[in-house]
Amino acid sequence: MKAVLPAFARSMVEARLPADLEVAWFTTPDEANAMVVDADIAWVDMQQPRYAGEAVARGTRIKWLSTIFAGLDTFPLPLLKERGVIVTNGNGLNAHTVADYAVMGILVAAKRFDEVVRIADRREWPFAAPGQAELAGSRALVIGYGTIGRLIGHRLAAFDVAVTGVTRSGRDETLTADRWRARLAEFDWVILAAPSTGETRAMIGADELAAMKSSAWLVNIARGDMVDKAALIDALATRRIAGAFLDTVDPEPLPPDDPLWSAPNAIHSMHLAGRSQMSMFPRGAALFLDNLAAFREGRPMTNVIDLDTGY
């Protein structure tokens, strides 16, 4: 049995790998592409996620694909389903840090701390705060009330924010996918934390932005393609909404001349939410080893993905 694994994980897993497992360690996309052709197990995470998807497509013998990332939008899921591949993801590995980041974005927006930093850079001393919104008593809609969404909700509740979640099933008094749009005008914070699927593409467009409060902020820590960028730029330029905190955009990286850079009241953080931590890789390595043992022994694995839904 052959496994293709990233060299960055070697120090964390090698000593605990089974002696009879043939292991190929890659450091570049070209190496991964070559090694994965006859692999049974593939963990091909790379700095640019699209390279992992390209490598996986070459692995016609893969039986199990492992990734430490929660989002699977760069992988060819229909092809993997056709080949009968088991896919496990990193759901939960960086959930706390992403939730922290989302709440940080809301606090930055409420107090306009981005403007405070710019004022300090200019060595000015204002007497009026640039942001005066209070979290207490405000209302947040969290679209995608899974592991990360619930953690965001718990954190916001500590600030006395009334939180409403959105789920596919409507469990635990959350809204279903067909109900949240009609209630957009109720919320001060609209937070995207859903997995990226065909159904979520451009889910926030001109109609949704028009339905939001003029004082509301859009917070996206999910995927950039969930927002119609042209519609968002127009809503920001016309002050239809108060602003947007965007950890994810489309495309990534955002080209230097993209108009979203200069859109009024848009705060960017370059898809750093999940990277603002030091523990994801050790936790991911431990998860891989646990799942490897389960895979070899035919036991249930952790974080197995439904390839029909994409999460």
For 61, the token pair is 């013998």
Q: Which of 112, 150, 155, 223 is catalytic?
A: 223
For 277, the token pair is 């931590």
Handedness of CA 139, 142, 143, 145 (dihedral sign): negative
Kind of pairing, strands 189-192 and 22-26? unpaired
252 is catalytic: yes
For 294, the token pair is 């389960």
* C-alpha count within 13 angstroms, C-beta hemisphere, residue 204: 31
Burial of 232 from C-beta contacts in 10 A (0-12 / 13-18 / 19+): buried
183 is catalytic: no
The Cα–Cα gap between 218 and 226 comes to 12
Give φ, ψ of 40 to 5 degrees: -90, -30
Contacts 24+ apart (CB under 8 A), 120-127: none
71 alpha-carbon distance from chain centroid: 6
Give φ, ψ of 191 to 5 degrees: -115, 125
For 276, the token pair is 């603002």
The Cα–Cα gap between 50 and 8 comes to 18
Q: Which of 10, 240, 271, 296 is catalytic?
A: 271
Cα torsion 121, 112, 225, 85 to 10°: value is 90
The Cα–Cα gap between 141 and 260 comes to 23
Q: Which of 252, 268, 283, 296 is catalytic?
A: 252
Catalytic residues: 223, 252, 271
